[in-house]
Structure 1
Amino acid sequence: MTRIPLRNHAQHIQSDESCAICGDGAQLDFDFSYAFQPIIDIRTRQVFAHEALIRGPGAEPAPSVLERVTPTNRYQFDQACRVRAIKTAAGLGMQSRLSINFLPNAIYRPEVCISTTLRAAQAYGFPIGKIIFETVEGERIDDGKWLAEVFREYQRIGFSTAIDDFGAGYAGLNLLADFQPDIIKLDMGLIRDVDKRKTNRVIAAAVVGICAELGIKVVAEGVETRDELLCLRDIGVELIQGYLLSKPLFEGCMPDADIVLPL
């Protein structure tokens, strides 16, 4: 999908079919649902957020859905994902924040395209202040300044923002210099065996220090062992996501009472 630069968009908006379908949430020819994986604040022993992870309608793995996404339906899929995630979370009575992956290269004009999300939040009674938008895992960000522009608009409206896979490939210090999100998620490649690998530990600690100076929360994702958790706690990471604490819950969410920390 070719994005029209924001500064040139006004003269094209009336003829752009993608903007026309933003308002009515055009139907896809396949169905999907969500699993929700909690992000735990190990300091307060509360669920900080649940990340919405795409699944098939019968809990089939994400690739079974994502393989149906094409350049033609990419925009509709991004819009439908937002609505479905909010509707499902509200139906579960989710009290934590809700983190929704989005496709930055599927967005033309954020202040227009966000209207579907705002309508869904209002319709299902889910506060926009509890919604986090994070860049989708593995999504190539061709224009970091464009992503920063999208994120600023989301923050202006009242959403929180997150950079996923920080330190892997496309999301790194250059992007952080252009824009300071509310949250960054350390890439699981950096987290794996962080207790055993000095280089990983030093880098993770340095990022935590930078984020503390900038007022950015840090999430460690993909935490699988107690030793990784203890190491991350010792370098100042308070928000943990991973199989050690909980696998994704298909059409379910975790109450604070169910949190068990192996500390």
Structure 2
Amino acid sequence: MSATGCQGCHTPLDFDVSMAFQPIVDVESRTVYAYEALVRGTDGAGAASVLSRVNDQNRYAFDQRCRVRAVELAAALHMDAMLSINFMPNAVYEPHRCLQTTIAAARRTGFPVERIIFETVENERVPDPSYLKQIFATYHDEGFKTAIDDFGAGYAGLSLLADFQPDIVKIDMGLINNVAGDRARQTIVGALAAVGNLLGIDVIAEGVERKSDAVVLRHLGIRLMQGYLFAKPAFEALPEVDFDVLLPLADQARGAA
């Protein structure tokens, strides 16, 4: 895709969207590292029903509207952590130009650009991988952070880390679920945490639902976690985090060492 190959750039979105927010917590400092903006219908309808209305003609308008709505809500809710916004690489016809509505929304609402993360899933096929690299580079140049979501569930695997150098990697919940009882998962997740540390990439474990898994993840060197164990997404609100469940993690992780 290129600046001359924009499909649907002038097609208006015939439905509106809103967002729910789920925290990503730092279990070491007991603070919220970021909130991920999760698309919802204006009536709170789930992501699946909203995404089912996205097509080639309205993908660009949908992607842009999600970005702006996430920033507007984050500012209105006085979010003091990072804001993570999902984006569709195939909706980006020219990286710099497609960032302008986000930058304008951030300036208009007073939300700091440097606190915005753009994340995309590993398993989204991009016809030209070099173009995704260009998108990431442009976002970095403009002061945004980048993340690869659902890492470990897609097509490219470790080559993504070498090719794109994201700021953040979110390990897919398929690897996280029952990590406490699976030696193979522990080995893989531990290796990913070590690679992230060596490359200066923050590693987030997503889909954490069990305290036992959180304890093992902390022992494996992961301090950033997201999942129902800490908080469920809240529609147009910042959910309260159950920090009490985090209290013993550091001590238990040391005891497991």
- The TM-score with structure 1 as length reference comes to 0.89
The ranges of structure 1 where at least 4 consecutive aligned residues each deviate by more than 4 angstroms after the TM superposition are 16-19
**Residue 206 (structure 1) aligns with:** 191
Query: 2:128 & 2:148 partners in 1: Cα distance?
Result: 14
Query: 2:137 & 2:102 partners in 1: Cα distance?
Result: 16
**Structure 2 residue identity aligned to 1:182:** D
Task: Note if contact 1:35-1:55 (Cα within 8 Å) is conserved in structure 2.
Answer: yes
Task: Note if contact 1:101-1:133 (Cα within 8 Å) is conserved in structure 2.
Answer: yes
Query: 1:32 & 1:207 partners in 2: Cα distance?
Result: 35
Q: How many residues align?
A: 247
Task: Note if contact 1:245-1:260 (Cα within 8 Å) is conserved in structure 2.
Answer: no
Distance 1:171 1:245, change over 3 A: farther
Q: Where in structure 2 are there 5+ consecutive unaligned residues?
A: 249-257
Distance 1:171 1:185, change over 3 A: farther
SS in structure 2 at match of 1:195: helix
SS in structure 1 at match of 2:179: coil
Using the TM superposition, give the Cα deviation of residue 109 of structure 1 relative to its aligned residue in structure 2, in angstroms. 1.0
**Structure 1 residue identity aligned to 2:125:** R
Using the TM superposition, give the Cα deviation of residue 146 of structure 1 relative to its aligned residue in structure 2, in angstroms. 1.9
SS in structure 1 at match of 2:180: coil
Query: 2:101 & 2:16 partners in 1: Cα distance?
Result: 18
Q: Where in structure 1 are there 5+ consecutive unaligned residues?
A: none
**Residue 96 (structure 2) aligns with:** 111
Distance 1:136 1:168, change over 3 A: closer
Structure 1 segment 148-187 matched on structure 2, within 5 A: 148-187=133-172
Task: Note if contact 1:82-1:117 (Cα within 8 Å) is conserved in structure 2.
Answer: yes
Q: 2:208 aligns with which of 219, 223, 244?
A: 223
Using the TM superposition, give the Cα deviation of residue 28 of structure 1 relative to its aligned residue in structure 2, in angstroms. 1.5
> Mean alpha-carbon deviation: is it higher for 70-79 or for 171-180?
171-180
**Residue 259 (structure 1) aligns with:** 243
1:55-88 Cα offsets, whole Å, 9 max, x none, are 1112111112111111100011001110000001
SS in structure 2 at match of 1:260: helix
Query: 2:170 & 2:7 partners in 1: Cα distance?
Result: 34
Please report the RMSD computed on the Cα atoms of aligned residues, expressed in angstroms. Answer: 1.7
Using the TM superposition, give the Cα deviation of residue 172 of structure 1 relative to its aligned residue in structure 2, in angstroms. 1.6
**Residue 86 (structure 1) aligns with:** 71
- The TM-score with structure 2 as length reference comes to 0.91
Using the TM superposition, give the Cα deviation of residue 175 of structure 1 relative to its aligned residue in structure 2, in angstroms. 1.2
Using the TM superposition, give the Cα deviation of residue 231 of structure 1 relative to its aligned residue in structure 2, in angstroms. 0.4
Using the TM superposition, give the Cα deviation of residue 18 of structure 1 relative to its aligned residue in structure 2, in angstroms. 4.9
Structure 1 segment 1-263 matched on structure 2, within 5 A: 3-4=1-2, 9=3, 12=4, 18=8, 21=10, 27-136=12-121, 139-254=124-239, 259-262=243-246, 263=248
Distance 1:245 1:255, change over 3 A: closer
1:71-114 Cα offsets, whole Å, 9 max, x none, are 10001100111000000111111111100000011111101111
Query: 2:121 & 2:197 partners in 1: Cα distance?
Result: 24
SS in structure 2 at match of 1:163: strand
**Structure 2 residue identity aligned to 1:103:** M
SS in structure 2 at match of 1:108: coil
**Structure 1 residue identity aligned to 2:223:** E
Task: Note if contact 1:163-1:171 (Cα within 8 Å) is conserved in structure 2.
Answer: no
Task: Note if contact 2:121-2:151 (Cα within 8 Å) is conserved in structure 1.
Answer: no
Task: Note if contact 2:64-2:101 (Cα within 8 Å) is conserved in structure 1.
Answer: yes
Task: Note if contact 1:35-1:251 (Cα within 8 Å) is conserved in structure 2.
Answer: yes
Using the TM superposition, give the Cα deviation of residue 152 of structure 1 relative to its aligned residue in structure 2, in angstroms. 0.9
1:235-259 Cα offsets, whole Å, 9 max, x none, are 0001000001000011111467x63
Query: 1:73 & 1:18 partners in 2: Cα distance?
Result: 6
Task: Note if contact 2:133-2:164 (Cα within 8 Å) is conserved in structure 1.
Answer: yes
Query: 2:88 & 2:130 partners in 1: Cα distance?
Result: 15
Using the TM superposition, give the Cα deviation of residue 27 of structure 1 relative to its aligned residue in structure 2, in angstroms. 4.0
